[in-house]
Amino acid sequence: GEDPLRSDIAEAVRQLGVAAVKLRGVIMEDPVRAQAPIPAAANASGDTQTWLDIEADRIFTAAAWQANIAIMASEERAEPLTMHAAGRLALAIDPLDGSSNIGANASIGSIFSLLPATGETPFAQPGRNLLAAGAVVYGPRCQMILTLGGGTLNFAYSPSFGGFVEEARSGPIPEKTSEFAINASNYRHWDE
């Protein structure tokens, strides 16, 4: 038989992909309205909310309901939203990261993770409990990067196909490497 948890993860990722395509359309439709700030509104992180932040949250919340998510934590909400009592998954999401970058025509994205919906605070679990995690980048191409724990999957949105198409697959990050990359702009803050 089919593993019910794996089926739930697959459906959640599918619904998140559908939501991302909807959000892509909204972003392309009216970029001026998208960056309009909402007076005196801030999200859970204290960032000024735009109309698009709220719309992205609405789109991904609808997807979470379709995916039978038990509980959802969104950067746009002060508290997690309890959803389906019988759901097996907890969704943590920033529905639209970098919405202030629209005016500069820089990439923006959605960031998400799926955890088992266990305990009173499923979002306090260690990262090793992640069932899936990913990001969607809305730039010149709409791209979804996804991991289910065994490497990274890269997908691009194809308008002719009407959905995401797998581009490339990469393995896990090697335990040892000859390269190390960091944010060099913080060099002045490093200890000797």
How far is Cα 155 from Cα 171, in angstroms, rounded to an integer? 15
- Higher confidence at residue 98 or residue 40? 98
What whole-number distance in Å separates Cα of residue 84 and Cα of residue 86?
5
- Residue 15 in 3-state DSSP? helix
**Composition of the chain by helix, strand, coil, percent to 5:** 35, 30, 35
pTM confidence score: 0.82
Rounded distance, CA 107 to CA 101, Å? Answer: 7
**C-alpha dihedral over 148, 151, 156, 158, to 10 degrees?**
-60
**pLDDT at residue number 123:** 94
Instruction: Specify the pLDDT at position 20.
Output: 97
Q: What is the pLDDT of residues 77-92, one digit of tens each?
A: 999 999 999 999 999 9
